[in-house]
Amino acid sequence: MNAEARLMQPYQSGPAPKKANKCLAGSAMGRIAVAEADLPNGKSMTIIVTKGTLDWAYPPFILATTAAAMDVNVTMFFTFYGLGLLKKDLDLTVNPLGNTAMEMPMMGGHMKMPNIVGMLPGMTGLATSMMKDMIKKKGVASIEDLREAAQFSDVRLIACQMTMDLFEYKNEDMLDGVEYAGAATYMENALTSDINLYI
Amino acid sequence: MADETLDAKGLNCPLPILKAKKALSPMENGKTLEILATDPGSVKDFEAFCRTTGNKMVEHDESGGIYRFVIERVA
Residue-range domains of chain B with CATH: 4-72 (3.30.110.40)
* Catalytic residue annotation of B: 13
pLDDT at A58 over 60: yes
Chain-chain contact of A8 with B53 (C-beta, under 8 angstroms) = no
Please give the pLDDT value at position A150: 96
> Is residue A90 within 8 Å of A143, Cβ to Cβ?
yes
Q: Do A41 and B15 touch (CB under 8 A)?
A: no
Cβ atoms < 10 Å from Cβ of B19: 18
pLDDT bracket for residue A42 (50, 70, 90): confident
Peptide bond into A114 cis (omega under 30): no
Within 8 A of A8 by CB-CB distance, chain B residues are 51, 54
Q: What's the residue count for chain A?
A: 199
Quick one: pLDDT at residue A40? 58
Q: Is the pLDDT of residue B70 over 50?
A: yes
Biggest CA–CA distance in chain A, Å, is 63
**Separation CA A49–CA A59 (nearest Å):** 9
CATH architecture of the domain A27-198 equals 3-Layer(aba) Sandwich (3.40)
Q: In this prediction, what percent of chain A has a pLDDT beyond 70?
A: 79
| Residues of B with Cβ-Cβ distance to A44 under 8 angstroms | none
* Domains of chain A by residue range: 27-198
- Amino acid (1-letter code) at residue A19: K
Residues contacting B33, CB < 8 A, separation 6+: B2, B3, B4, B5, B6, B20, B23, B24, B27, B70, B71, B72, B73
3-state secondary structure of A80: helix
SS3 (DSSP) at A171: helix
Q: Give every CB contact of residue A54 below 8 A, 6+ residues apart in sequence.
A: A92, A93, A94, A128, A131, A132, A143
CB contact under 8 A, A69 and B20: yes
Q: State the average pLDDT over residues A14-21.
A: 40
What residues of chain B lie within 8 A of the CB of A71, using their CB?
52-53, 75
Query: Which tens digit of pLDDT belongs to each residue from B13-65?
Result: 999 999 999 999 999 999 999 999 999 999 999 999 999 999 999 999 999 99
- The reply to whether residue B52 touches residue A11, judged by beta carbons under 8 angstroms, is yes
pLDDT classification of A64: cutoffs 50, 70, 90: very high
Chain B interface, best mutation among A12, A38, A63, A66, by max B CB count within 10 A: A66
Nearest 5°: phi and psi at A86? -100, 0
| B39: chain A residues, CB-CB within 8 Å | 139
> What ipTM does this complex have?
0.88
Gap between the Cα atoms of A185 and A79, Å rounded: 13
Give the torsion through C-alpha atoms of A127, A129, A132, A133, to 10 deg.
Answer: -110
Residue of chain B with shortest Cα separation from A38 = B75
